[in-house]
Amino acid sequence: MNKKLYRLVFNSTRGCLVAASEIALQKSKGSRIGLGTVKGSSAAVVLRAAAFFAVVLCSMGSGLAQAQIIPDAKSPGNQRPTVLSSPNDVPLVNIQTPSGAGVSRNTYEQFDVDSPGAVLNNSRIDAQTQLGGWVQGNPWLAKGEARVILNEVNSNNPSQLKGFIEVGGQRAEVIIANPAGIEVDGAGFINASRATLTTGSPSMNGGGLDGYRVHRGTIRIEGKGLDASLTDYTGVLARSIEINANVHAQDLELVTGENSIDVHSGNIKKESGKSTAAAPAFSLDVSELGGMYAGHIRLVGTEAGLGVRHHGTMAASVGDIHIDTNGQLRSAGIIQANQGDVVIRTAQDQSFSGSVLAGENLTLHSGGNRFDEDNRSKPATIENSGDLRAGLEANLRASDLNNSGRIDAQRLDVEVVDISNSGSFWQSGAQDISIKATNLVNNQGGFIGRAALSEQDGNAGLQSSEPTEQAADGNEEKSSQSSEELVSTPQPSSVPKSSAAPLASGVVKASGSLENHAGGTLAAEGELYISTSQSHSNAGHIRAQGVQANGDWFENTAGTLQADQLNVEVGTANLSGGTVLADTATLSSTKHIQDSKAQLYTQGELHLKAQRLSNAGEIQSSATSHIAVVNHLTNTGTLAAADDLTIDAASVDSSGTLAAGLNSDGSLDTFVANGAELHVTTTGDLSATGTNLAAGTLTLDGDNVDLSD
């Protein structure tokens, strides 16, 4: 440009007059309008006037847009950005000069973004932007662009973010911090490496950002939601968060409560009691319209007693979902990690009436939180009426577990104080099951068993489904999206229809009592070790290759207990109307074995040991049977064996049937040489006034033998 001659011409791209060389022409609908030339010493004055006039003309049509973003006049000059208008009439913010750490600190008295969006100018030279078109270089960046663009809002009003925020020029991290709160409705980020929305106050150190101190404020996402799908990391940090619309991100982190947050280490330090504001009802509240769709999702809530209410969708496409809260969790929605783990730890109760689906491992720990030492040992419950599934292992820890829904995994690892089950525990894998409780009650309709394997790989816990919008893979570059582009709500992935195949080997340990009520089923494919220190009661169905029951009390009232090997070592065994079937069985009682109209059958050897034995039912072995009673044996039913039957007792009173060599049809097996023998030996009285049968030798030996009718 000739430094002596200047002309104002109309720039059709910018839509206003600009200073140009003396040979430039102004065009307006085909006409040419010139202001003439200015020579000599007046040139500089005219240039300044022309430039001012051009800026005024360019700004007239965009005053409202600029008024949405107002720098804080009370802040230092090196923290006050310059707010202009881009050629596309969206606010253009020339951010301030970054520090040596690359942080551009910008303070505002108002930071609102309307639907057209806003551009944070991080370019030293003219640059093309998606929202603003071509923008001039930022004069504040003569020494280099920013790595972090910090936007601090000093206001009593929440920021209203209703449009996309674009970083013009070099990609950078964008932070919007407003302690009064942030309301999001159709916002998003373009060309941002990381994005953080926080109600915390930034902690600065030597021009660098160390973290945030959060003591108040709510971030509310509603309407058209938040699209951060082009951003590597998205953080939402506030005392409380409300989500009533969809959030799309790659790596999504939500932190609630009064905290000090270190941006370098990621450590979160709880700082309770700093705020004078009333505590919110929930630290995170997700409505039925709310959804979080990301590659990875992490939620941390540190404020004691403030939990999570989730009625929407939380879906991770490629990574894990971690929820760690110092309160309760109530989920009626969907929590799903297609390819990763779901880990939920709460200081208080967990309640599920929706679905929690983990492609790999599912961990639910209730009662204990790393942010509050006082809560670590407090009891808390897991309540499930929904669908809990894991492709690999389900690990559950709580004081109480109440299940009326479905819990499904290749391996179940459950350790609680009390279990009440009227739903189903399905294990699809061959690893050992582990269910440990003080008291276990399997109610009517309750099932603990094995799901039939799917045709794919036996992964009955979670089959392939894609509930998330694949906007979180980070590999596909795309232009700014409308926040109205919502994904469909995911549905729980289908599980193959299960047959009543039994569980793998393992342990069901109730250190107190185990109750399997009528209509309840507990089954295992391999060894099932049932251990109780108080009582074991079965009125339902128990099936395993091996059952070992220990405790004070064993009761099979009206149920069926079936095992290849049965070993019962208890104080008292009560068989009253049920059926016990085994290949081989040993029942050992330190007190009393009582059979009142029950059935006990074995294919192999049967061993009964007790202080006292009272039988009014049927106890029969297809092989040999050995009965040893320290004190008195009473029989009004049937004691029989297909082979030898041996009874040793202090005294016997039998008005029923004693038989050796008895066939299943009730006849004696007399075709075998040296047939089965019946031996009854007492150290006291022996009364055998009923039926006494033997295919071979029959011996009744006692101090006083009574065979009268």
- Write out pLDDT tens, residues 478-512: 333 333 332 332 333 333 233 334 445 677 878 88
Q: Is residue 587 part of a domain?
A: yes
In a domain, 31, yes or no: yes
Alpha carbon 206 to chain centroid, angstroms:
40
Q: What is the pLDDT of residue 672?
A: 56
pLDDT of residue 66: 52
pLDDT on residue 544:
81
Residue 340 near residue 360, CB atoms below 8 Å: yes
Both structure tokens of 417: 């104080």
Contacts of 676 (CB under 8 A, 6+ apart): 641, 642, 643, 644, 645, 660, 661, 662, 669, 694, 695, 696
Structural domain includes residue 264 = no
Position 498 scores a pLDDT of: 32
List the domain range (segments joined by +) for residue 38.
7-60
For 56, the enclosing helix (H) or strand (E) is helix 43-60
In which element (H, E) is residue 50 found?
helix 43-60
Q: Can you give the pLDDT at residue 547?
A: 83
User: Is the Cα torsion angle 543, 546, 551, 556 positive or negative in sign?
Assistant: positive
Q: Is residue 670 part of a domain?
A: yes
pLDDT at 275: 66
pLDDT value of residue 551: 83
- Determine, yes or no, domain membership for 514: no
Number of domains in the chain: 2
Question: Which stretches in the chain have pLDDT values below 70?
Answer: 1-67, 273-276, 369-377, 450-505, 525-526, 669-674
Q: Which pLDDT belongs to residue 432?
A: 80
Type of residue numbered 609: K
Q: What pLDDT is attached to residue 674?
A: 58
Burial, 273: exposed, middle or buried (Cβ in 10 Å; 0-12, 13-18, 19+)? exposed
The 3-state DSSP class for residue 281 equals coil
What is the identity of the amino acid at 123? S
Strands 7-11 and 16-20: antiparallel
95 lies in some domain = no
Task: Give SS3 for 337.
Answer: strand
Would 56 be classed as within a structural domain? yes
Contact between 380 and 346 (Cβ < 8 Å):
yes
Q: Which token pair is 696?
A: 């071979």
Domain boundary among 25, 44, 60: 60
Q: Under DSSP, is residue 139 helix (H, G, I), strand (E, B) or coil?
A: helix
Mean confidence (pLDDT) of the chain: 84
* CA nearest neighbour of 213 among 241, 239, 176: 239
Type and span of the H or E element at 550: strand 541-556
Side-chain half-sphere of 220: how many Cα atoms within 13 Å? 11
Query: For 519, phi and psi rounded to 5 degrees?
Result: 90, -5
pLDDT in the model for residue 85: 95
Distances (CA, A) of 121 to 67, 128, 131, 367: 17, 11, 12, 48
**pLDDT at residue 604 in the model:** 95
206: left (phi over 0), alpha (psi -120 to 50) or beta: left
- Within a domain: 338: no
